[in-house]
Amino acid sequence: MSHLASAVLRRYVDEPDALLSFEKEHLLQCPGCRSRLELYRERAAHAAGLLQSSGEIDVQAAHRVVIARAHTRGASEPGRTPPQASARVGTPRLLQWGGAVAAGLLLFVAIGYTPVRGYAESFLAIFEPNQFQAIAVSANDLTKIRALPELTAFGTMHQFPAKLTYTAFADGAGAARFARQPILHPGFLPPGVPTTPHYRVSGKQTVSFTFNAAKARVTAAKKGASPPKMPPEIDGSTLSATFGPVIVEMYGTLPQPARHKDAVAGRLPNNILVITQGPAPHIYSSRATVTQIESYLLAQPGLPPGLVAQIHAIGDPATTLPVPVRIDKQTSQSVTVNGAPGLLIGDNTGVGSGVIWQQGGTIHCVAGPYTASQILQVANSMTP
């Protein structure tokens, strides 16, 4: 077998009984994995020693040291200016809401819809999306999905940091340097959209999820449910991924949710356009495959049969992101954006339209309260 995943070895440091028999056998026979395990043990011991220190920490002084080092490093590199940090901890509600909108737009409907988010994320195991497949969901489907247990009922999830922070930039050059990725800019804007954008860049976030059959059984017993038995290749398997940084290029200004009834209802004002881009997620599994995890989750009782059939029909679950589309409110069509395959979603309720595509390892999204043809025109006009 291949080497043990880092997530498995890190867990073994804290939980010696966590390894399965074949993993323990591999560890005994593999000098490389044993060497990595010792490194993780040393790091864990060092961290434990720091946490047990009785000395007081001067947070303000530490912050000043970090900022000084960042400026020194930035000044020492030719052509580089230190990043601005005007919108980190303590961001106003406007920016927080804007960040939530941007995060939802990046993966558009699939990750943004709370009722299906847990299951959609599970389909990303060992995954690098390069195409997007619409799957039709009805209001009745969403009602059934809301009644299903959350993904955490099947195991334990960890996120670091727990909440994303966004840094504001006055220009695209600063945002690009900070995110270390080139930014695409539109050559066409719908009528009424301000021509000067402002930028926000999210930090990186690492997410891991470990399946636990015992926890799944306890949750099912409490609800009186009879789900399928978790296969041994899934039990104890860990999925891990790092998302971001995500660049948000925004034309116009989002309103305060508390002061704008349309914002509370999820609508965007008519003079705004949101463009996001970020590296495509690479999600890794310590053991289970995409097909194994997908088959197990789709076998849960209560899932709408039509939804299950559509996901099973996806050709390659390792490269295709299923995007739920409300059949009563939205239309979808496969499109080509600058030569790359994408998915265009139009909304017939007046909220707007959006298009998402992947090109060169980066996921791009354009969305706003405009027609599908206008949004597609913006996307096709984008260049570095």
Tell me how far apart the alpha carbons of residues 86 and 157 are, in angstroms, rounded to a whole number: 30
Using one digit for the tens of pLDDT, what is the confidence trace for 201-249? 998 888 888 999 999 988 888 877 788 899 999 999 988 888 889 999 9
Rounded Cα gap, residues 39 and 45, in angstroms: 10
- Quote the pLDDT of residue 267: 54
Judged by phi (left if over 0) then psi (alpha if -120 to 50, else beta), residue 363 lies in beta
Integer angstrom CA distances of residue 31 from 27, 35, 36: 8, 6, 9
**Residue ranges per domain, the chain?**
1-50, 85-380
The secondary structure of 85-153, three-state, reads CCCCCCCCHHHHHHHHHHHHHHCHHHHHCHHHHHHHHHCCCCECCCEEEEEEECHHHHHHHHCCCCHHH
Q: Which residues of the chain have pLDDT under 50?
A: 53-55, 59, 71-125, 257-266
The 8-class DSSP code of residue 361 comes to T
Nearest to 265 by CA among 275, 276, 255, 252: 255
**3-class DSSP assignment, residue 202:** strand
Whether 301 and 327 have beta carbons less than 8 Å apart is answered as: no
Closest by alpha carbon to 249, among 191, 176, 180, 190?
A: 176
**What is the C-alpha separation between 183 and 177, in angstroms, rounded?**
10
Return the DSSP state at 284.
Answer: E
Instruction: Sort strands 131-137 and 320-326 into parallel, antiparallel or unpaired.
Output: parallel
Q: Bridge partners of 333? A: 344
Predicted local confidence at residue 6, as pLDDT: 78
Cα separation values, 293 from 3, 124, 126, 238, 310, Å: 21, 10, 10, 11, 16
Residue 383, strand partner residues: 185
Q: Would you say 308 and 298 are in contact if contact means Cβ atoms under 8 Å apart?
A: yes
pLDDT of residue 110: 31
